[in-house]
Amino acid sequence: MKQNALINSIVKIETKEKEILRNILLVFGGTVFLSILAQILIPLKPVPITLGSFAVTLIGLLYGRKLATATILSYVAAGTVGIPVFANFKTGVLFSPSGGYVFGYIVAAIFLGYLADKGFTKSYAKTILALIIANVIIYALGILQLSLFVPNKDVFKLGVYPFLIGDTLKMLVVASLVPTLWKFVPKNDKQ
């Protein structure tokens, strides 16, 4: 599959060795970026509001499926082995009320990366639609796991409603940013 992700037009590679190095650096950089943004939070219980979903959606749309998936899985692996990358510098989040959202990050990154590879990120309308679906994926997996910890009647009150305004703003920023970046890629470099 031809990868049409924006990162491939921004960071050119000439050899297989340089591609491997570029990919390692992008995955590491994306993991650090996500780890930092996960610390910018509003500490609600049982699930904090963070900029993690902003980072995940941006990575998915910029990197494409393979790199985005590798990046989010690296982030999850780092948190799983005890590196404090999750919100509030926590570890062990995967089996907590917030864990479903982290699993949602993985699926959302795969979904957005696939669409990025197909060239969806060049269109504002397609990008916003993709972001809405990605956020639904994150919410769905998030509240599925949250429902194991709180009464079903409280799942939306605790796991969706507090995030809607912030996530809408995050989506608007990402949906404005990514298609705009394509305008700076020279015509002959657009895949």
Q: What is the pLDDT of residues 17-64, one digit of tens each?
A: 999 999 999 999 999 999 999 999 888 788 888 999 999 999 999 999
Structure tokens at 67: 């790199």
d(CA 88, CA 75): 15
High-pLDDT (> 90) share of the chain, %: 78
CB within 8 Å of 132: residues ≥ 6 apart: 171
Alpha-helical runs (H) found in 64-123: 65-80, 99-117
Q: Beta strand pairing status for 41-42 and 49-50?
A: antiparallel
Position 143, amino acid: I
d(CA 154, CA 160): 10
pLDDT of residue 80: 94
pLDDT digits (tens, 9 = 90+) for 76-114: 999 999 999 998 888 888 999 999 999 999 999 999 999
In this structure, are residues 37 and 52 in contact, taking their beta carbons and an 8 Å threshold? yes
Backbone angles phi and psi of 42, in degrees to 5: -110, 115
- Nearest in space to 98 (alpha carbons), one of 134, 165, 49: 49
Domains of the chain and CATH, by start = 6-183 (1.10.1760.20)
Helices (H) and strands (E) in the chain, counts: 8, 2
In this structure, are residues 108 and 137 in contact, taking their beta carbons and an 8 Å threshold? yes
Average pLDDT, the chain: 92
Better pLDDT: 175 or 15: 175
